[in-house]
């Protein structure tokens, strides 16, 4: 086992240091002091002229580097500032375009109402609302603003239109309902004459002697509405959306072709960094002013979506513009500034090369010290994000082996109970394993007792650290031992807790290449890596949990679905639970009580459906999976659960779907969700949403 001459498990030998941070500080202060004394002693033995030349070069280099850094920082800061200011201007224009569209729509609607009021006055003055002369006049009405034609709804639910034709619209339009609302604009509905067309009706009352004798309305055909818009934002390069916030229905959509849809039915988009779909949805519903950026597959670019409220019903207007249009000026300025920075940095690089060319008289010792710093920096760069990119750890180990002048390098790391072993040999790539056969028992005991270095240069010293199997020749251990000429090892400790978490060992080091200070510095860097791995694992665990209920969150839910399907395809049950009345609870009693409601329901779910696959996938939605569950028994549990939480005036809707030989897990979930919705509709059929949780 030539590539694994140390062992696999040092879990039993890892110890905690009492004052980890203090000991690390003392240790590094001692190392720096030792290195400083050594450097001064060597400096005294060198010729005076060489020392002066080195000091002069050092001052020149330090001065040049400081100038480059200061100018570079100033240039980058100024460039970023100018780019940020220009981007703000671009956002200001986006807001202005949205404001212009909103002002235009409000102005047209107000003008339409004035026109309707004038027509209503004419109708009121007529002795008979169905007077042919009156309707010959009204039928000559030309499209004004958003309206294309007018109609009159009479108290008997008769509609008068055209040149006086009458149509019984009982059950479709209600005079009593519309008259109670006074002058208003209806929600989106279908045309009485063409169910494939969406329309709005702009109502104004017709009053005679203090009595409402009819409701005159202007018909707004939504399919024709974008044509009547005076202009599109950004000289036609943007799109306009008019949305009913209560329903999510589009009233205007100049971006998509075909029938008008619903914004929430399109689902979540791939958002740009820094944007959140939940915040966007809440802001649109609550009438906030904001911007969202998402990736459009239609144009293959990011789109900026600015939304704002209107003073009409609960309408929201939005302007959608491609990023290349919105940020055109900013992109141009950023490109110019980056070009300037590139030229500037090239000039700095050429200047630094000229300064470095003046370093030919630097001593070999100084050069080696600089090389060590550079190598340490490169390895630290690899290790900086090696906890996320395993290939960087391999590169760091390989780089360290080359720098330290050894034939073989071993790194053991205890990762959450698993002993990971990495081995590098000259001319071979780094390999990883979790079950090395030889144990570095003596090393672990020494390091656990507080030792910071182990060096073995004789066969007896090397044999002392090998297990009995290697000494006796078992499992090729003796073959590996006979090829070991020398060994140098240091412990790797967690830089925060001070706990022994790894071992770095070098073997067959070239003569004169042994560099203990550099090895100690690298052990500190590997300690940082070990700490990063631990922190990342802890954060991953925390990121999978919903902080309110303690259940797994939607991120974990999405990751687990493929594994659930793979593992339990033969028989799987999905339980879909929705909490009824959460929105009403939040609106009437506040979000604190809404959170208590969710936590109470979640605890009850955990009690009645114990298991590892419990997820909170939405604000008031929970999804559970039970391998090979009995649907009848689970249904009984759901009834008991609903009865239990009903004592708190909490109510849920539950959908349970059990399948054998699951075709797709998406179909399983959809079936359970549909059953939940069926139960939810039945629940609300007997209750008034507005009166829930009011008492």
Q: Which of 47-61, 275-289, 509-523, 673-687 has the lowest mean pLDDT?
A: 47-61
User: Rounded to an integer, what distance in angstroms lies between the CA atom of residue 409 and that of residue 430?
Assistant: 9
Whether 126-225 and 231-326 share one fold: the answer is yes
**Average pLDDT of the segment spanning 338-344:** 83
What CATH number labels 126-225? Answer: 3.30.450.20
- The alpha carbon of residue 648 and the mean position of all alpha carbons in its chain are separated, in whole angstroms, by 35
**Domain segments of the chain: what residues?**
11-46+363-539, 49-118+327-361, 126-225, 231-326, 554-691
Structure token digits, residue 353: 């090369």
What CATH number labels 11-46+363-539? Answer: 3.30.450.40
- In this model, does residue 678 exceed pLDDT 80? yes
Residue with tokens 């000026």: 329
Answer with the residue of higher pLDDT: 679 or 518. Answer: 679
Work out the number of other CB atoms within 10 angstroms of the CB of residue 300.
Answer: 8
Residue with tokens 């981007």: 87
**Average pLDDT of the segment spanning 655-680:** 94
Q: Which residues pair with 615 in a beta bridge?
A: 552, 623
Q: Which of 236-250, 453-467, 519-533, 659-673 has the lowest mean pLDDT?
A: 453-467
For the chain, the average pLDDT equals: 81
Q: Are 624 and 615 in contact (CB under 8 A)?
A: yes
Confidence (pLDDT) at 14: 43
What CATH number labels 554-691? Answer: 3.30.70.270
**Average pLDDT of the segment spanning 338-353:** 82
Confidence (pLDDT) at 417: 64
To the nearest whole percent, how much of the chain has pLDDT over 90?
Answer: 26
SS3 assignment for 262-279: ECHHHCCCCECCCCCHHH
- In this model, does residue 607 exceed pLDDT 50? yes
- Using DSSP bridges, classify how beta strands 184-185 and 165-168 pair: parallel, antiparallel or unpaired: unpaired
In terms of Cα–Cα distance, which of 352, 107, 105 is closest to 233?
105
Confidence (pLDDT) at 13: 43
Structure token digits, residue 532: 């990063």
In terms of Cα–Cα distance, which of 528, 504, 492 is closest to 382?
528
In terms of Cα–Cα distance, which of 487, 486, 689 is closest to 588?
689
Q: Cβ contacts of residue 139 below 8 Å, gap of 6+?
A: 162, 163, 164
Q: Cβ contacts of residue 257 below 8 Å, gap of 6+?
A: none
User: Rounded to an integer, what distance in angstroms lies between the CA atom of residue 319 and that of residue 305?
Assistant: 6
Confidence (pLDDT) at 551: 92
Q: Are 294 and 271 in contact (CB under 8 A)?
A: yes
Confidence (pLDDT) at 365: 63
Confidence (pLDDT) at 256: 82
Confidence (pLDDT) at 25: 46
Q: Which of 107-111, 113-117, 326-330, 601-605 has the lowest mean pLDDT?
A: 326-330
In terms of Cα–Cα distance, which of 317, 314, 245 is closest to 281?
245
**Average pLDDT of the segment spanning 136-164:** 83
Confidence (pLDDT) at 399: 86
**Average pLDDT of the segment spanning 340-355:** 81
Confidence (pLDDT) at 345: 82
User: Rounded to an integer, what distance in angstroms lies between the CA atom of residue 66 and that of residue 68?
Assistant: 5
Confidence (pLDDT) at 364: 56
Q: Are 427 and 3 in contact (CB under 8 A)?
A: no
Answer with the residue of higher pLDDT: 374 or 436. Answer: 374
DSSP 170-207: TTT--HHHHHHH-SEEPPPEE-SS-TTSEEEEEEEEEE
From first CA to last CA, the distance across the chain in angstroms is: 76
pLDDT band for position 178 (cuts 50, 70, 90) = very high
Q: Which of 22-31, 47-56, 306-315, 444-453 has the highest mean pLDDT?
A: 306-315
Confidence (pLDDT) at 148: 85
User: Rounded to an integer, what distance in angstroms lies between the CA atom of residue 273 and that of residue 691?
Assistant: 40
**Average pLDDT of the segment spanning 352-369:** 68
Q: What burial letters (b/e) apply to 83-99, b meaning 16+ CB within 10 Å?
A: beebbeebbeebeebbe
Structure token digits, residue 243: 């949305």
Q: Cβ contacts of residue 101 below 8 Å, gap of 6+?
A: 233, 240, 317, 319
- In this model, does residue 58 exceed pLDDT 70? no
Residue with tokens 């493929």: 562
Q: Which residues pair with 144 in a beta bridge?
A: 147
> What letter would DSSP give residue 575?
E
Measured at the CA of 609, the angle between CA 603 and CA 610, to 5 degrees, comes to: 80
DSSP 31-50: HHHHHHHHHHHHHHTS-HHH
Measured at the CA of 188, the angle between CA 183 and CA 190, to 5 degrees, comes to: 115
Handedness of CA 230, 232, 236, 239 (dihedral sign): negative
Greatest Cα-to-Cα distance within the chain, rounded to the nearest angstrom: 123
What's the pLDDT tens digit per position in 517-554? 888 888 888 888 888 888 887 787 778 888 899 899 99
What CATH number labels 231-326? Answer: 3.30.450.20
Q: Which of 200-204, 389-393, 534-538 has the highest mean pLDDT?
A: 200-204
In terms of Cα–Cα distance, which of 580, 582, 639 is closest to 609?
639
Confidence (pLDDT) at 513: 77
pLDDT band for position 3 (cuts 50, 70, 90) = very low
- In this model, does residue 112 exceed pLDDT 70? yes
pLDDT band for position 615 (cuts 50, 70, 90) = very high
Q: Cβ contacts of residue 115 below 8 Å, gap of 6+?
A: 144, 145, 147, 218
Segment 593-599 long-range contacts (CB within 8 Å, at least 24 positions apart): 595/548, 597/648, 597/650, 598/548, 598/549, 599/548, 599/549
DSSP 348-400: HHHHHHHHHHTTTT--HHHHHHHHHHHHHHHHHHHHHTTTT-HHHHHHHHHHH
Structure token digits, residue 503: 């071992």
Q: Which of 12-26, 63-77, 665-679 has the highest mean pLDDT?
A: 665-679
Confidence (pLDDT) at 643: 94
Confidence (pLDDT) at 623: 96
What's the pLDDT tens digit per position in 465-501? 766 545 544 555 555 556 788 888 989 888 887 888 8
Q: Which of 6-15, 211-220, 459-468 has the highest mean pLDDT?
A: 211-220
Q: Which of 116-130, 143-157, 264-278, 460-474 has the lowest mean pLDDT?
A: 460-474
Confidence (pLDDT) at 52: 62
Q: Which residues pair with 490 in a beta bridge?
A: 504
User: Rounded to an integer, what distance in angstroms lies between the CA atom of residue 513 and that of residue 521?
Assistant: 16
Helix, strand, coil proportions of the chain in percent (round to 5)? Answer: 50, 20, 30
């Amino acid at each position: 086992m030539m590539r694994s001459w140390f062992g696999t498990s040092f879990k039993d030998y890892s110890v905690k240091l009492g004052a980890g941070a203090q000991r690390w500080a003392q240790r590094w202060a001692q190392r720096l002091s030792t290195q400083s004394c050594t450097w001064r002693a060597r400096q005294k033995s060198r010729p005076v002229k060489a020392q002066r030349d080195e000091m002069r070069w050092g001052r020149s280099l330090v001065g040049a580097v400081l100038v480059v850094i200061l100018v570079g920082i100033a240039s980058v800061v100024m460039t970023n500032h100018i780019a940020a200011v220009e981007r703000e201007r671009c956002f200001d224009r986006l807001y202005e375009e949205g404001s212009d569209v909103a002002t235009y729509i409000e102005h047209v609607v107000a003008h339409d109402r004035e026109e309707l009021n004038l027509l209503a006055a004419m109708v009121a003055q007529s002795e008979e609302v169905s007077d042919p002369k009156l309707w010959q006049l009204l039928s000559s009405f030309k499209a004004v603003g958003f309206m294309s034609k007018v109609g009159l709804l009479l108290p008997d639910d008769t509609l008068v239109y055209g040149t006086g034709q009458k149509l019984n619209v009982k059950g479709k339009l209600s005079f009593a309902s519309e008259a109670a609302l006074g002058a208003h604009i209806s929600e989106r509905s279908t045309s009485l004459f063409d169910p494939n067309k969406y329309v709005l009706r702009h109502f104004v009352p017709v009053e005679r002697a203090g009595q409402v004798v009819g409701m005159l309305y202007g018909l707004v055909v939504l399919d024709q509405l974008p044509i009547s818009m005076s202009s599109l934002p950004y000289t036609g390069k943007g799109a306009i959306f008019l949305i009913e916030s209560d329903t999510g229905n589009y009233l205007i959509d100049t971006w998509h072709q075909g029938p008008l849809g619903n914004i929430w039915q399109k689902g979540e988009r791939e958002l740009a960094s820094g944007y959140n779909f939940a915040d966007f949805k809440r802001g649109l519903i609550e009438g906030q002013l904001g911007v969202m950026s998402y990736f459009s597959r239609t144009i293959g670019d990011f789109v900026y979506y600015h939304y704002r409220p209107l003073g009409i019903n609960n309408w929201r207007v939005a302007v959608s513009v491609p990023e290349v249009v919105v940020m055109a000026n900013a992109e141009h300025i950023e490109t110019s500034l980056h070009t300037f920075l590139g030229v500037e940095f090239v000039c700095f690089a050429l200047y630094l090369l000229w300064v470095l060319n003046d370093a030919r008289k630097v001593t070999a010792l100084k050069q080696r010290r600089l090389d060590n710093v550079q190598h340490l920096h490169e390895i630290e760069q690899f290790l900086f994000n090696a906890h996320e990119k395993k290939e960087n750890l391999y590169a760091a180990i390989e780089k360290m082996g080359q720098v330290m002048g050894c034939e073989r390098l071993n790194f053991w790391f205890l990762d959450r109970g698993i002993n990971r072993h990495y081995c590098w040999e000259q001319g071979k790539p780094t390999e990883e394993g979790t079950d090395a056969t030889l144990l570095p028992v003596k090393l672990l005991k020494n390091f656990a007792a507080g030792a910071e270095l182990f060096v073995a240069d004789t066969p007896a010293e090397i044999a002392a650290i090998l297990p009995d199997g290697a000494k006796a020749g078992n499992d090729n251990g003796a073959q590996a031992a006979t090829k070991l000429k020398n060994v140098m090892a240091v412990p790797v400790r967690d830089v925060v807790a001070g706990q022994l978490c790894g071992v770095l060992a070098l073997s067959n080091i070239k003569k004169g290449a042994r560099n203990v200070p550099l090895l100690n510095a690298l052990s500190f860097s590997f300690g940082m890596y070990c700490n990063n791995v631990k922190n990342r694992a802890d954060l991953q665990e925390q990121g999978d949990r919903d902080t309110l209920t303690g259940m797994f969150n939607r991120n974990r839910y999405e990751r687990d679905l493929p594994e659930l399907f793979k593992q339990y395809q033969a028989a799987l049950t999905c339980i879909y639970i929705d909490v009824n009345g959460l929105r009403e609870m939040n609106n009437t009693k506040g979000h604190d009580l809404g959170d208590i409601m969710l936590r109470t329901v979640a605890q009850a779910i955990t009690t009645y459906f114990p298991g590892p696959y419990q997820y909170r996938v939405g604000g008031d939605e929970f999804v559970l999976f039970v391998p090979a569950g009995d649907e009848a028994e689970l249904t009984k549990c759901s009834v008991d659960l609903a009865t239990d939480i009903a004592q708190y005036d909490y109510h849920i809707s539950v959908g349970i779907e059990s399948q054998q030989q699951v075709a797709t897990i998406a179909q399983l979930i959809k079936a359970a969700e549909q059953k939940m919705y069926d139960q939810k509709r039945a629940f609300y059929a007997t209750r008034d949403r507005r009166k829930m949780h009011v008492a």
